[in-house]
DNA sequence: ATGAATAATGAATCATTATTCATTATACAA
DNA sequence: TTGTATAATGAATAATGATTCATTATTCAT
């Protein structure tokens, strides 16, 4: 009895990621994905029930990986909330720095597929964000973070800022090195734009 | 000689705005827009060469209006950079507060059409953002804003944060009143999340 | 009133692509 | 080695929906 080939499933996923990143989900053609993966168009349907399933798996993995890392990070008692916040930013930047295609998919497609699939995707995404919120709450409890800021709003604030900056980076990586973006992002979310003169 | 009816052009634009906001540009059907505007599908093509032109006009007007307001705001000598920054935030919130459909179009479609059309759209959008940058630069010169923050990054930071917050608001306006979002946004961009104890 | 000129109509066209499925090739159990 | 289950194939299908265009209705200058 022949069996499905897992390396082929991966090849299709990778090809799907690249083509969807290049052309956008809607314009991404199954024929092109098949060609990139070196399989026939029909073969794709042995491994994934439809085009949507491909991107859903990509996003499920992304948020699954990030949620797993966050489960390790949040409970650490040896780190301050500020350190945890910085490390979360690093975590996310590190994932996308090495994978422009994944960055593009997050930037352009994430939202519209959040509610698609069995529910794993939304679950992973929410878990990641809830763990992030946990860090903020810890900081507020420690009087390190400002208690007057609405945590839910702050969380969306950061996601949105990050997403848009990542998008600008994919459009023109030269003029906006991801490292500078990272440093500025960390600084702004902590200190804002106002100049705080430090006493001599 | 019969003439094209400007009220019909407006009706089509309004219907297009509503339907595109509801269904997204791609899923928005010309037939539905025509029905809402109480015209035949073919009539739409008397007023707009294609579906894309409709959304481009909507976005051109949005950024045109905002750029015009900014041209009045930035040169005012009676306002501090902080006040100008706050007023810019108010300006943008005010436009979208009364127009959920326009908010949805900004949130979901703006980026992909930025480079479409004759160039007016991109021009208006850039002008608005450049004038915003102007305010930041003025604040830096006055030692009110932090000189170490990359202005271009800060600008994308705010747009992204704003867009995502607006999106959350369109998804669930109850749980996230736009007024609370507005206040938090103003506070965070100025002060960040860190708690700055004020001397007694 | 009249008759160009052109606005309005909406059924038909046409292009596009995801998906299916009849057929062929291949891996594996016996 | 052989038979069979099923993987692989890619041409054909089928659905979709933007746009066209032949026809009809309306406006307006004369």
CA of B39 to C1' of D26 (A): 15
Q: Show the tokens assigned to B78.
A: 């009676």
Q: Is the pLDDT of residue B117 over 90?
A: no
Residue owning tokens 């052309």: A23
Q: In which band, very low, low, confident or very high, does the pLDDT at B4 lie, cut at 50, 70 and 90?
A: confident
| CATH classification number, A1-48, choose in 3.30.420.40, 3.30.56.10, 3.40.50.300, 1.10.10.60 | 1.10.10.60
- CB-based burial label for A118 (10 Å; 0-12, 13-18, 19+): exposed
Q: Cα separation of A112 and B171, whole Å?
A: 12
Domain assignments of chain B as residue spans, ordered by start: 1-48, 56-191
Does B154 touch chain A if contact means CB atoms closer than 8 Å? Answer: yes
Residue owning tokens 């040169």: B75
Q: Which nucleotides of D are covered by protein (CB under 7 A)?
A: 4-12, 17-22, 25-29
Radius of gyration of chain A (CA): 20
CA of B45 to C1' of D30 (A): 31
B187, B128 contact by CB (below 8 A):
no
- pLDDT higher for A156 or B1? A156
**Range list of H helices, B80-177:** 81-97, 100-113, 120-141, 151-171
In DSSP terms, which residues pair with A81 in a beta bridge? none
Enumerate the residues of chain A whose CB falls inside 8 A of the CB of residue B185. 153, 157
Between CA A47 and CA A54, with CA A53 as vertex, the angle to 5 degrees is 75
- CB-based burial label for A200 (10 Å; 0-12, 13-18, 19+): exposed
Does B188 touch chain A if contact means CB atoms closer than 8 Å? Answer: yes
The pLDDT value given to residue A76: 97
Give the side-chain half-sphere CA count within 13 A for A116. Answer: 16
Q: How many residues does chain B have?
A: 200
Q: Name the B residues in 98-117 with CB < 8 Å from any A CB.
A: 111-112
Q: Is the pLDDT of residue A199 over 60?
A: no
Query: pLDDT by residue (tens digit) across A92-135?
Result: 999 999 899 999 999 999 999 999 988 999 999 999 999 999 99
What is A55-191's CATH number? 1.10.357.10
With H, G, I as helix, E, B as strand and everything else as coil, classify residue B194. Answer: strand
Q: Which residue of chain A has the CA closest to B179? A: A153
φ, ψ for residue A119, nearest 5 deg:
130, -10
Query: pLDDT by residue (tens digit) across B61-97?
Result: 999 999 999 999 999 999 999 999 999 999 999 999 9
| CATH classification number, B56-191, choose in 1.10.357.10, 3.40.630.30, 3.90.550.10, 3.30.565.10 | 1.10.357.10
The distance of Cα B111 from the centroid of its chain, to the nearest Å, equals 11
Residues 6+ apart with CB under 8 A from B135: B74, B81, B84, B85, B88
Give the side-chain half-sphere CA count within 13 A for B51. Answer: 14
- Interface predicted TM-score (ipTM): 0.90
What's chain B's average pLDDT?
A: 94
Give the side-chain half-sphere CA count within 13 A for B88. Answer: 31
Q: Is the pLDDT of residue A58 over 70?
A: yes
């Amino acid at each position: 009895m022949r069996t499905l080939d897992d390396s082929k499933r991966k090849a299709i996923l990778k090809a799907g990621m690249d083509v969807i990143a290049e052309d956008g989900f809607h314009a991404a053609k199954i024929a092109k994905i098949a060609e990139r993966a070196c399989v026939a168009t029909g073969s794709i349907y042995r491994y994934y029930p439809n085009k949507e399933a491909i991107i859903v798996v990509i996003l499920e993995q992304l948020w699954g990986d990030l949620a797993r890392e966050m489960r390790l990070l949040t409970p650490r008692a040896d780190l301050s909330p500020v350190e945890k916040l910085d490390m979360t930013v690093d975590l996310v930047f590190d994932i996308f720095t090495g994978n422009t295609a994944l960055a593009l998919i997050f930037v352009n497609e994430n939202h519209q597929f959040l509610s698609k699939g069995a529910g794993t995707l939304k679950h992973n995404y929410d878990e990641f964000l809830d763990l992030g919120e946990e860090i903020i709450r810890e900081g507020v409890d420690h009087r390190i973070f400002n208690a007057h800021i609405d945590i839910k709003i702050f969380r969306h604030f950061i996601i949105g800022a990050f997403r848009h900056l990542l998008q600008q980076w994919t459009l023109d990586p030269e003029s906006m090195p991801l490292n500078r973006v990272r440093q500025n992002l960390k600084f702004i979310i902590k200190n804002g734009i106002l100049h705080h003169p430090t006493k001599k």
